[in-house]
Amino acid sequence: MPRTAGIYWERHGDPALPALILSAGLGGAGDYWHPNIDALAHAFCVHIYDHRGTARSDRAMPDTVDADFLADDLALLIDALRLERPVIIGHAAGALAGLALALRSPGQLGGLILVNGWSRPNPHFRRCIEMRLAVLEQGGPQAYFRAQPVFLFPANWVTRNDARLQAQLAEQVETFQGAATLRARAQALMAFDIDDRLGEIMTPTLVIVADDDVLVPALCSDRLHAGIAGSGIARMPTGGHGCNVTCPDQFNTIVRDWLSGMAARGD
């Protein structure tokens, strides 16, 4: 199991191909990206990793957790794996990590793909996170993970995949990052605010937004697109917060097409 400074990571694809790093959301596990890896690894060298504090990475956490802490591990992987200007595909928390790194070290990145991300605290998102933390506090990890699909996926998809979600429950509980870590990471997401600095981001950027995301309102992605000069936006009418899981073919096509266009332009 490859590790770098306590961070578990995997490489998929030919190391000679352009590099991608896929960064997950609040759950932190690189396995979140399994519906997308094979489709992207034909043309790119895909790297997934577990956020520090989660899954197979080092579970020790500092007293203060913020987006720069998340960005630190992205920077660490880029340097340690000797990746040349990789594109970061970040979902929610992963998008925030990519944004934070683009602000402080733009030269390290070749591009950003921000999936259901945001630039400033959103009241609806805050309510959802507080509700999820309350479920964890009152019902424990099993209740938390039973409730999680309500926030991540469209109702019809949950209905069709109920058996699949139920089968995942035991492993999710067993590998849970821990209540203290989850709370710290959630607080970092709710505190993130770079709205007045979006104009500083010069990294080529694509914003992917699911219009039916019930956790992070689509207007948050609209704001990212409006504030980052030259950014593109791709709308998925359905798919929910976890749109790369629920609609992988559409998601993978959007990503491949944008990356191909960026390469053609020489960005």
Distances 195 to 82, 119, 151, 217 between C-alpha atoms, Å:
31, 5, 24, 16
Given this model, what pLDDT does residue 215 score? 98
Q: What is the pLDDT of residue 232?
A: 98
CB-side exposure of 24: number of CA atoms within 13 Å? 25
pLDDT at 130: 98
Q: ∠ at Cα 224 (219, 226), nearest 5°? A: 90
C-beta separation of 88 from 23 below 8 A: yes
d(CA 219, CA 40): 28
Give per-residue burial for 141-170: e unless 16+ CB within 10 Å, then b. Answer: beebbbbbbbbbbbeebbeebeeebeeeee
Domain span at residue 28?
3-265
Per-residue model confidence as pLDDT tens for the chain (267 residues)? 699 999 999 999 999 999 999 999 999 999 999 999 999 999 999 999 999 999 999 999 998 899 999 999 999 999 999 999 999 999 999 999 999 999 999 999 999 999 999 999 999 999 999 999 999 999 999 999 999 999 999 999 999 999 999 999 999 999 999 999 999 999 999 999 999 999 999 999 999 999 999 999 999 999 999 999 999 999 999 999 999 999 999 999 999 999 998 777 776
Name the DSSP class of 240. -
Q: Domain holding 94: CATH number?
A: 3.40.50.1820
Tally of domains within the chain: 1
Give pLDDT, residue 1.
62
Type of residue numbered 264: A
| Residue 264: exposure state from Cβ atoms within 10 A (0-12, 13-18, ≥19) | exposed
Beta carbons of 220 and 118 less than 8 angstroms apart: yes
